[in-house]
Amino acid sequence: MVGQSLRFNGIGKNFPGVRALSDISFEARPGSVHALMGENGAGKSTLLKILGGAYQPSAGSLEIGGRAVAFKSAADSIGGGVAVIHQELHLVPEMTVAENLLLGHMPARFGLVDRGAMVRRARELLRGLADEIHPQQRLGSLSLGQRQLIEIAKAMSRNAHVIAFDEPTSSLSAREIDRLMTIIARLRDEGRVLLYVSHRMEEIFRICDAVTVFKDGRYVRTFEAMSELTHDQLVTCMVGRDIEDIYDYRPRAHQGEALKVQGLLGPGLQEPISFTAHKGEILGFFGLVGAGRTELFRLLAGLAPSKAGALQLCGKPLTLKSPRDAIAAGILLCPEDRKKEGIVPLASVAENINIGARDQHVSLGCLVQGKWERENADKQIRALNIKTPSPDQQIMYLSGGNQQKAILGRWLSMPMKVLLLDEPTRGIDVGAKAEIYQIIHNLAANGIAVIVVSSDLMEVMGICDRILVMSEGALTGELAREQADESRLLQLALPRSRG
Ligand SMILES: Nc1ncnc2c1ncn2[C@@H]1O[C@H](COP(=O)(O)OP(=O)(O)OP(=O)(O)O)[C@@H](O)[C@H]1O
Ligand SMILES: [Mg+2]
């Protein structure tokens, strides 16, 4: 199969009330990495689901090596030499890594699963990608990034000719991304066809040879030579307008202490942490994956018990025994893994947005409540530009990025004094990022202390007034906006031997 290209011929896909794709035609060549780009809801995942046999196209056909192929099921697609790594992971948390990797083709001896062979085979599959993961570990004990690596290893184990990645790096650390890039380059050099979906520009320019842009389910254009394409051209093509400065930073006056943290210790923290976030301030926490930032956030949101230290909110002592205490005090945490921790798949978009605020409005009458909820859902859908046919659509039918935005909308619907945002723009397209940054600025301008954890250097430098850096469970430095640059931040973030 090596040397054969993949063609999409006039592919269309309709869902009830939604035309997800119409008349998509382009070719992806062997020995090249072909990016698919477009805003949240543009239709990228839908196309990959058709390729993976999960959906049937409403119109058009696929060709591999000039021959028409029709995949009626995932098994058909696998049999046709295709591997798709979907945006939503399809792994079983209760099983081990090896069982997940070899599901469906476990090595057997005398009718029994051969555990030894299974572990050996799993280890081979993980080589170079995730050597540190043990095949016998329960999948549920792995981080989101590690699970993503398992999904990738699983797809690669099939030795497919066409391999499609749907936002594979959304929860990977910089080091894991490097490893994945090396592997993708090898697969490309072996003459396979690679499709790559990501909202991260640096990755597109780093690894891709060609890029096809979609907008609202339609084909816009294909750039065959990345070297002739600039970052701005690509953004303009995707969003349909120029975005000059997505951060649009405006200095604000701070108005006294909001959250004061003194000597805080707890799970995941190696040294006591002290800092103060001010009303109207956007405070960033930068660090590498595993630096302890998410753990710190969990302590501040009452999700984990602290071992030592004291908190003050607006000058008053604060004790957090549970997340309820934090929410009641006005400290909200919008978690990193928003979907896993937050989504109610069968409920409507409106319901998903209003769930958190509902508890705060129990005193309102039913009618008033219903009206407030309808207005609030409309408001969030508009403010975050959530692409949905209606507020009543079940959220599971929204694109990945639009689900993320709806969950963000839930947190923005609740009264707050301090907002803890963990990786606020993961999986979100460039246009929508600019909108989210605007929202963060407006919250701060209204006196809220916004604390942002992000692994995206440009984002941290772009939106924050001040940046605290963490490494290995400890604070390693503080930089004012003017002092922050890439090398300083990275220097502070890298693990070091502390005396
Ligand atoms: N099963 C479904 N039922 C109804 N509508 C759907 C279904 N799957 C996708 N859609 C709709 O089709 C459109 C395209 O969605 P898709 O998931 O392909 O977008 P995407 O480009 O992958 O976006 P993102 O960047 O957010 O992941 C969206 O409007 C989405 O709501
Ligand atoms: Mg998608």
The answer on pLDDT for 499 being more than 60 is no
CA–CA dist 347, 407 (Å, integer):
12
Q: How confident is the model at residue 135 (pLDDT cuts 50, 70, 90)?
A: very high
- Is any atom of ligand 1 closer than 6 Å to the C-beta of 213? no
Q: 6-239 belongs to which homologous superfamily?
A: P-loop containing nucleotide triphosphate hydrolases (3.40.50.300)
What is the model's pLDDT at position 339? 61
- Is any atom of ligand 1 closer than 6 Å to the C-beta of 200? no
- Is any atom of ligand 1 closer than 6 Å to the C-beta of 38? yes
Residue type for position 448: I
The answer on pLDDT for 144 being more than 80 is no
Say how many Å lie between the CA of residue 43 and the centre of ligand 1. Answer: 6
pTM as predicted: 0.82
Say how many Å lie between the CA of residue 398 and the centre of ligand 1. Answer: 5
What is the model's pLDDT at position 417? 96
Q: How confident is the model at residue 362 (pLDDT cuts 50, 70, 90)?
A: low
Q: Give residue for tokens 């600025």.
A: 441
Give the tens place of pLDDT for each residue, 72-98. Answer: 999 999 999 999 998 777 788 889 999
Say how many Å lie between the CA of residue 41 and the centre of ligand 1. Answer: 5
Same fold, 6-239 and 257-493: yes
CA–CA dist 73, 295 (Å, integer):
41
Which ligand is closest to the CA of 40, given by its number? 1
Q: How confident is the model at residue 11 (pLDDT cuts 50, 70, 90)?
A: very high
CA–CA dist 334, 173 (Å, integer):
20
Q: How confident is the model at residue 361 (pLDDT cuts 50, 70, 90)?
A: low
Q: Which atom of ligand 1 is nearest to the CA of 47?
A: 18
Please name the residues in contact with 225: beta carbons below 8 A apart, sequence gap of 6 or more: 210
Q: How confident is the model at residue 151 (pLDDT cuts 50, 70, 90)?
A: confident
CA–CA dist 173, 149 (Å, integer):
11
User: Parallel, antiparallel, or unpaired: how do β-strands 67-69 and 59-64 relate?
Assistant: antiparallel
Given ligand 1 and candidates 85, 196, 213, 398, which is best to mutate, with the most ligand atoms within 8 Å of its CB?
398
Nearest to 288 by CA among 430, 158, 470: 470
CA–CA dist 198, 177 (Å, integer):
12
CA distances for 305 relative to 264, 268, 301, angstroms: 10, 11, 10
- Is any atom of ligand 1 closer than 6 Å to the C-beta of 473? no
Residue ranges covered by each domain of the chain: 6-239, 257-493
Q: How confident is the model at residue 498 (pLDDT cuts 50, 70, 90)?
A: very low
Q: 257-493 belongs to which homologous superfamily?
A: P-loop containing nucleotide triphosphate hydrolases (3.40.50.300)
Note the maximum CA span of the chain: 73
Given ligand 1 and candidates 8, 15, 219, which is best to mutate, with the most ligand atoms within 8 Å of its CB?
15
Q: Helix, strand, or coil here: 258?
A: strand
Say how many Å lie between the CA of residue 207 and the centre of ligand 2. Answer: 19
- Is any atom of ligand 1 closer than 6 Å to the C-beta of 212? no
- Is any atom of ligand 1 closer than 6 Å to the C-beta of 40? yes
CA distances for 480 relative to 419, 422, 442, 485, angstroms: 20, 20, 20, 10
Instruction: Give me the mean pLDDT over the 9-19 stretch.
Output: 93
The answer on pLDDT for 110 being more than 80 is no
CA–CA dist 66, 60 (Å, integer):
14
The 3 state secondary structure assigned to 190-223 is CCCEEEEECCCHHHHHHHCCEEEEEECCEEEEEE
What is the model's pLDDT at position 352? 93
Joined tokens for residue 290: 């595993």
Q: Which atom of ligand 1 is nearest to the CA of 43?
A: 18
Residue that wins the pLDDT comparison between 242 and 296: 296
Say how many Å lie between the CA of residue 393 and the centre of ligand 2. Answer: 17
What is the model's pLDDT at position 434? 87
Give the tens place of pLDDT for each residue, 172-211. Answer: 878 888 888 998 999 999 999 999 999 988 899 999 999 9
Phi-psi region of 122 (alpha: psi -120 to 50; beta: other; left: phi over 0): alpha
Closest C-alpha residue for ligand 1 atom 12: 20
Residue that wins the pLDDT comparison between 373 and 145: 373
CA distances for 35 relative to 174, 286, 411, angstroms: 20, 29, 32
Cα 327 off chain centre by: 24
Which ligand is closest to the CA of 428, given by its number? 1
Residue 11, class by beta-carbon neighbours within 10 Å (0-12 exposed, 13-18 middle, 19+ buried)?
A: buried
Please name the residues in contact with 431: beta carbons below 8 A apart, sequence gap of 6 or more: 39, 238, 239, 241, 243, 385
